[in-house]
Amino acid sequence: MSAAPTPTESGVLRPSSGKALLIDGKRGSEEVLTEIAEKVRGLAGQGLKPGLAVILVGADPASQVYVGAKGKAAKAVGFHSVQHDLPATASEAEIIALIRQLNADPAIHGILLQLPLPGGADATRIIESIAPEKDVDGLHPINSGLLAIGNLSRALVPCTPAGSMILLEKAAAALGVKLEGAEAVVVGRSNLVGKPIAQLLLGRNATVTIAHSRTRDLPAVVGRADVLIAAVGRPEMIRGDWIKPGAIVIDVGINRISVPSHDPAAPAKTRLVGDVAFAECLDRAAAITPVPGGVGPMTIAMLMSNTLKAAIQIAGLKAAH
């Protein structure tokens, strides 16, 4: 039996020799949230209370859980937090009308539309109706543009990519390796995850490859990666023997799979797995994020971080006028 991992100062778990370091996203998120709560207490003295509005269209159970977690975290750090539930039948015009109201509401600094929309409806025009300075998901073209030109001080960067980078930086620091010049492979090219992570890696001077469903010989491309980011949405698709020995693996995937039960009378059980076959990677990777407890909790922490940033930037803009 292997020894239990020992926590280190940095929130990276150092397991028994020959095994990958586990990068602890739960701990990383707690660090970020503690810092935010402190800043919120400071802002209260200046009469500023950051406000977050989350919009949920329809009643997808997974989305309800995520939206609930976001509201809870917002209250815990001292934000004003509101949730707007719209029926699955809400029209694009109705959702945009709500967003216009929130754009004009001085108590709200961050607006998040939970995705995907019911029935896979296109969210492009709705996202574009969000005031860019309140777009805490970082999906408005103004924010993707600011990220693409490297203006990170002004951009609101999508939460999952921003959280993934914090865990990656922690792993690199714990291992004493540099991101500059490293071969980074991102599997997945969505606007929410893959593309913005690739931009952030480029900003850190990594050599970036973006792989997707049309990529030829994915195992060979993955095998080049010193840094691998998996954002595919396919349970354990990336196998241990694809991984370059010594790589840092950030597993963004959140996939709920059913676990076969030996007792046919027992209710079906499910568990969360990533896009990477975690157990197979432990002997090859130098560091890896677990699922759950990796990127997921960081996403919520970075949403709070973006809302705080938005509140400060909006207050600054008002003061300048």
Ligand X SMILES: Nc1nc(=O)c2c([nH]1)NC[C@@H]1CN(c3ccc(C(=O)N[C@@H](CCC(=O)O)C(=O)O)cc3)C=[N+]21
Instruction: Name which of ligand X, ligand NDP, none residue 297 binds, using a CB cut-off of 5 to 8 Å depending on partner kind.
Output: ligand X
d(CA 233, CA 294): 15
Q: Is 305 in the site for ligand X (CB under 6 A)?
A: no
188 is in an annotated binding site: yes
Three-state secondary structure call for residue 186: strand
Instruction: Check if 70 is active-site.
Output: yes
Beta carbon nearer to ligand NDP, 214 or 321: 214
**Looking at 19, 70, 195, 244, which residue is catalytic?**
70
Q: Which of 58, 71, 194, 297 binds ligand X (CB under 6 A)?
A: 297
Of 137-176, which residues contact ligand X (CB under 6 A)? 137, 159-160
Instruction: Check if 83 is active-site.
Output: no
d(CA 98, CA 128): 13
- Where along the sequence are the contacts to ligand NDP (CB under 6 A)? 160, 187-190, 192-194, 211-215, 218, 231-234, 252-255, 275, 295-296, 299
Three-state secondary structure call for residue 168: helix
Question: What is the number of the residue whose Cβ is closest to ligand X?
Answer: 296
Burial 135-145 (b: 16+ CB within 10 A, else e): bbbbbbebbbe
In the complex, minimum distance from the CB of residue 25 to ligand X, in angstroms, rounded to a whole number: 7
Sheet holding 110-113, edge to edge: 80-86, 51-57, 110-113
Token couple for 202 = 């480029």
Three-state secondary structure call for residue 287: strand
Beta carbon nearer to ligand X, 160 or 199: 160
In the complex, minimum distance from the CB of residue 127 to ligand X, in angstroms, rounded to a whole number: 9
**Which amino acid would we find at residue 228?**
L
To 5 degrees, how large is the angle CA 161–CA 162–CA 166? 115
Phi, psi of 206 (to 5 degrees): -80, 160
In the complex, minimum distance from the CB of residue 273 to ligand NDP, in angstroms, rounded to a whole number: 10
Cβ burial of 241 (10 Å; 0-12, 13-18, 19+) is exposed
28 is in an annotated binding site: no
Instruction: Name which of ligand NDP, ligand X, none residue 305 binds, using a CB cut-off of 5 to 8 Å depending on partner kind.
Output: none
Give yes or no for a contact between 48 and 311, defined as CB atoms under 8 angstroms apart.
yes
223 is in an annotated binding site: no
190 is in an annotated binding site: yes
Using CB under 6 A, list all residues that contact ligand X.
65-66, 69, 112-115, 137, 159-160, 254, 272, 291-293, 296-297, 299-300
- Going by the annotation, the residues of the binding site are 188-190, 254
What are the catalytic residues? 70, 114, 137
